[in-house]
């Protein structure tokens, strides 16, 4: 397996941030329920269901003591019985230069009835059937909950370590002018049916990540593909779009697979340094524009395929 690209500022010793998570359950067998909280006001994954309590391991504390503290602070109860469940090792291609080690504990007994003790961070607290989780559960936490459901159902035991995010790769897809133009007046500076067909062929069946302005220029969800839209507007929604409020959120939601980054300029700028492949339609014009694609550095990128068209060329670039 080839290593995925790593930007120069991500090489070397990357800080490993530790956190403790409480997987709180009640009942047994198929009737097992998990306590989940609905995140809000946290600046990350707001509007998603998450484990009953979680937080960073701070002040040189142990993971187990951090677990007890988070349950006390977030739910107003004490942990009576808990055991280590798994560790999730997470990485993200963009965002802060760090990796995550998430220690999950299976909490089976508390000192009382849990409640929301930090209402500025949680909009709801609810017991959910472990076999019937809500749709929007933070992805790496869902992986742990589903693994626990499998084990409690008599299946494979929860793995000692779950890796998340390291198998993801990014492919940037764009049509660019001779001057690297990609956007003008809130849309594309051309209408090229041949390129639209090519775009469909490249992205069909995949997951696309785009900014809000790119979504607006398209105007709808494209069939046969998942669409994740990055926007800072917490109230924004659109039919057929999955919403993320940062690029790291979007990539977490996209999952461990090839992800097609399709615009706009700022999203391209943040991802080209760690992309594995570029699918570029070179258009033989240099229109006036407000948005431009980043420079394709020949010291980094090399052509692996080229197909000419009418006034354009479809070029695939791979990393040297």
From the CA atom positions of the chain, what is the Rg in Å? 22
Q: Give yes or no for residue 7 having a pLDDT over 70.
A: no
Residue entry with tokens 């007994």: 109
The answer on pLDDT for 5 being more than 70 is no
The average confidence (pLDDT) of the chain is: 94
Helix (H, G, I), strand (E, B) or coil at 252: helix
**What's the gap between Cα 113 and its chain centre?**
33
Q: Hey, what CATH class is 8-164 in? A: alpha beta
Q: Using CA atoms in the order 232, 140, 252, 163, what is the torsion angle rounded to 10 degrees? A: 150
In CATH, what number does 169-319 get?
Answer: 3.40.430.10
The domain ranges of the chain are: 8-164, 169-319
pLDDT digits (tens, 9 = 90+) for 226-262: 999 999 998 999 999 999 999 999 999 999 999 999 9
Residue 11: pLDDT over 90: no
pLDDT mean over 56-73: 95
Q: pLDDT value at position 2?
A: 43
Least confident range of 68-77, 185-194, 216-225: 185-194
Q: pLDDT tens for residues 158-194?
A: 999 999 999 999 999 999 999 999 998 888 899 999 9
pLDDT score, position 299: 97
Res. 101 pLDDT band, cuts 50 70 90 = very high
Decide if pLDDT at 268 tops 60. Answer: yes
Q: What is the pTM of this model?
A: 0.90
**Contact call for residues 265 and 292 (beta carbons, < 8 A):** yes
Q: Extract the tokens encoding 127.
A: 């017991």
pLDDT score, position 282 = 98
Q: What is the pLDDT of residue 187?
A: 84
Quick one: tokens of 125?
A: 């607290």
Rounded CA-CA distance 237/149 in Å is: 31
1 falls in which pLDDT band (50, 70, 90)? very low
H/E segment holding residue 104:
strand 99-110
Check whether 275 has a pLDDT greater than 70: yes
């Amino acid at each position: 397996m080839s290593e995925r690209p790593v930007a120069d500022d991500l090489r070397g010793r990357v800080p490993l941030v530790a956190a403790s998570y409480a997987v709180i359950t009640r009942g047994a067998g198929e009737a097992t329920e998990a306590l989940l909280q609905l995140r809000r006001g946290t600046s990350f994954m707001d509007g998603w269901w998450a484990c009953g309590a979680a937080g960073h391991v701070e002040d040189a504390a142990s993971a187990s003591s951090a677990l007890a503290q988070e349950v006390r602070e977030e739910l107003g109860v004490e942990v009576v019985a808990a055991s280590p469940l798994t560790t999730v090792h997470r990485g993200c291609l963009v965002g802060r230069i760090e990796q995550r080690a998430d220690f999950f504990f299976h909490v089976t007994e508390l000192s009382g009835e849990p409640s929301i003790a930090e209402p500025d961070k949680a909009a709801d607290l609810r017991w959910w059937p472990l076999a019937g989780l809500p749709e929007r559960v933070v992805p790496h936490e869902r992986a742990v909950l589903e693994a626990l459901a499998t084990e409690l159902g008599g299946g494979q035991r929860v793995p000692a370590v779950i890796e998340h995010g390291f198998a993801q790769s990014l492919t940037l897809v764009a049509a660019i002018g001779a001057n690297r133009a990609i956007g003008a007046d809130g849309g594309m500076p051309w209408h090229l049916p041949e390129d639209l067909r090519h775009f469909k062929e490249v992205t069909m069946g995949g997951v696309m990540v785009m900014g809000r302005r790119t979504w607006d220029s398209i105007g709808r969800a494209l069939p046969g593909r998942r669409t994740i839209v990055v926007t800072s507007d917490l109230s924004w929604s659109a039919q057929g779009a999955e919403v993320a409020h940062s690029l790291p959120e979007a990539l977490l939601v996209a999952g461990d697979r090839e992800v097609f980054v399709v615009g706009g300029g700022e999203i391209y700028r943040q991802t080209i340094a760690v992309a594995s492949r570029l699918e570029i339609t070179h258009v033989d014009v240099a229109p006036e524009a407000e948005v431009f694609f980043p420079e394709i550095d020949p010291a980094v990128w090399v052509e692996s395929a080229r197909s000419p068209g009418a006034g354009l060329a479809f070029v695939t670039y791979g990393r040297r």
